Chains A and B, each alone.
Chain A
Amino acid sequence: MMRMSPSEIRLAVAGIAVLAALATLPLFDNGYYLTISLNIVLYAALCTAWTLFSGPTHYISLATAAFSGLGTYTVALGIDALPFPLLVVAGGIVAAAMAGLVGAATLRISGIYFVIFTLGLTELIRQIVTRVQTKFGKSTGLYVFTDFTEAHIYWMLLGLTAAIFLTGWLITRSRLGFALEVIGEDEEVARHVGIDTARMKIVLFMISGAFIGMAGAMLAPRYSYVEPPSAFNPMISFLVVIMALLGGTRRFWGPLIGVIPFTILMDLVSVYFPNDSSIVIGIAFLIIVYLLPQGLTGRLEQLWARMRHPQEHDKAAAAGERP
């Protein structure tokens, strides 16, 4: 039995209360607010899963759309043959396997190769799936008929997000989490004390990929007709990077702070400026790099520290340290 500190117990109780409150949302509204909340929960799941890997390693993964698309496709292919929960697990396994392959090819060498490889991964898988479908299938799309409503998908994704948080917490308490902490401090030291740094990163990438694949699988009933261009949409990967970094990745819950405003913003943009989403995304990236390098949570923490200890902050600033 793992022991929890009082503050962790308080956090867990608060988390469960928030979760329970959020779960009642479909009882009040089944229209616009549920749709936008579903998007928020989806991106919350994707961004937290992304942060599981990219937070401690600082590698920018653009494979999100590829993993979630694989999850969606797994469901679409098997929906007539297997029960849905099994397919969700299968989607996670397929995505984790892909993450393992990508990680094995690139994470042993250097971070930049990893970014480049994931940059085109979604497009690559889309091309291959399209090719296989046109060659062996009858059409390029697949139908997904289920009894699930938006409320069901919302609940599933909410549960998944909770599971990701739990996993993240368990990782910090495990050998993997300890190894990651050492790697984060100094990778050279980590290697010298006998940590297989590449393997740790690959395992972490697979865990993150599995959750993203499961999120994609849960989303499949929403499409009803799954086609390669909609399932493998590279834009999702970029949005996840923006939201997670906008929130800040130093705290595990940081991405949530970015997900809520940005999902709403993108929704407004798609209504009022449907052709200019690229410009908005471009500006968002520039704002993150130049104005919010630690994310909103980092900026809030800075302000908080300054309000609580104004003198200490001044001393730290005088010494040339970051507060």
Chain B
Amino acid sequence: MEIIVTGVLLGGTYALIALGLTLQYGVARIMNLATGETFLAACFLAFWLFTAYAVNPFWGLAVIAPLAFVANWAIYLFLLQPLVNRAKDEAMLEVDTILATFGLLFLVQGLLLRTFGGAYMSYTFLAERFELFGSQYGLNRVVAFLAALLIAAALYVFLYRTRYGTAMRAVAGNPHSAHLVGIDVARMAGLAFALGGAITACGGTLLSTFYTFDASMGVVFTIKALIIVIMGGVGDVRGAAIAAVILGVTETAIASLVDPGLTLASTYALFTLVLLFRPQGIFGTRRS
């Protein structure tokens, strides 16, 4: 029971990075391999705001999320859109974006190392006990989970109840038809990329309240996010949320029952199962 609750709580923050990525890949069609770096940069920013200015990380969200939105929009406009325009086919765009986001990955990682050094970071925030189903949990984890839930719900409402959200889902479904019904596809792709980056950064900010992180961890988060997205089905908000919780629980179970050093192995085990049995995702329909 403890494992399940801890896993679900962890899954909440994983869900945000995966939702961000699924927006970026599903709508903007950019496989952003630097997503873990956006996530980590938010961790470091929250850390810096808290230790230097005593800013509560939840207020920090109000600064970090818009900042990530603008930064990701700029990245899309200046770095990625030229690649979209020059690509002759999808395969070429895929290779180009993979290489370009690798470049961003190392650039951000190098800048983080330069600014904050290579040490492990953490800070104490809301480190009180909280009782749930008869066991004790960190209050910071519970609050972070609730905040993640709120953000994910807001995203869901945006995508399914507003005109902009509907347009984004139309682009995700079929960019050609979306264009025919008068949607500015390029603009929507840019907005979706920026929004995805902002949501990822929210996940990073929340994670930093209870997790120890360092500058070279980004790739691991990227891999987790990618696997959640594939497990849930690309572009599927519901699937990503459920897959994130599955991953959180599996990881916590392996870490506490077998060996904390094997968390990535458990992620890969899940990934392999998905690839072998449901490569289209949990709720996905097989593409013809």
Contacts and interface: CB of A to CB of B under 8 A. Distances in A.
Given A111-B94, A112-B31, A289-B99, A120 B107 contact: no
A107 to B, nearest CB: 11
Most A Cβ at <10 Å: residue of B110, B113, B265: B110
B223 A116 contact: yes
Interface residues of A, number: 39
A303 interface: no
Nearest to A287: B103
Contacts of B267: 120
Contact of B265 (A60, A124, A234, A285): A124
A275 interface: yes
B27 interface: no
A76 B82 CA distance: 48
Interface in B64-82: 79, 82
Contacts of A279: 106-107, 110-111, 114
A33 interface: no
Contacts of B147: none
A154 B259 CA distance: 40
A58 interface: yes
Given A58-B91, A113-B230, A279-B114, A120 B264 contact: yes
B264 A127 contact: yes
Interface stretch (B190-198, B206-214, B268-276): B268-276
Given A127-B264, A131-B261, A105 B272 contact: yes
Interface in A69-116: 105-106, 109, 111-113, 115-116
Interface in B253-288: 259, 261-262, 264-265, 267-268, 271-272, 275-276, 279
Contact of B223 (A58, A119, A127, A284): A119
Interface of B is mostly: helix
Nearest to B105: A282
A60 B106 contact: no
A14 interface: no
- Give the secondary structure class of A's interface: helix
B103 A285 contact: yes
B111 to A, nearest CB: 7
A109 B268 contact: no
B261 A130 contact: yes
B268 A120 contact: yes
A101 to B, nearest CB: 9
A123 interface: yes
Contact of B106 (A115, A127, A285): A285
Contacts of B279: 109, 113
A260 interface: no
B31 to A, nearest CB: 6
Nearest to A293: B96
Contact of A123 (B102, B264, B271): B264
12 contacts: A116-B223, A116-B226, A123-B264, A128-B265, A130-B261, A238-B106, A278-B106, A282-B110, A286-B79, A286-B103, A288-B99, A289-B103
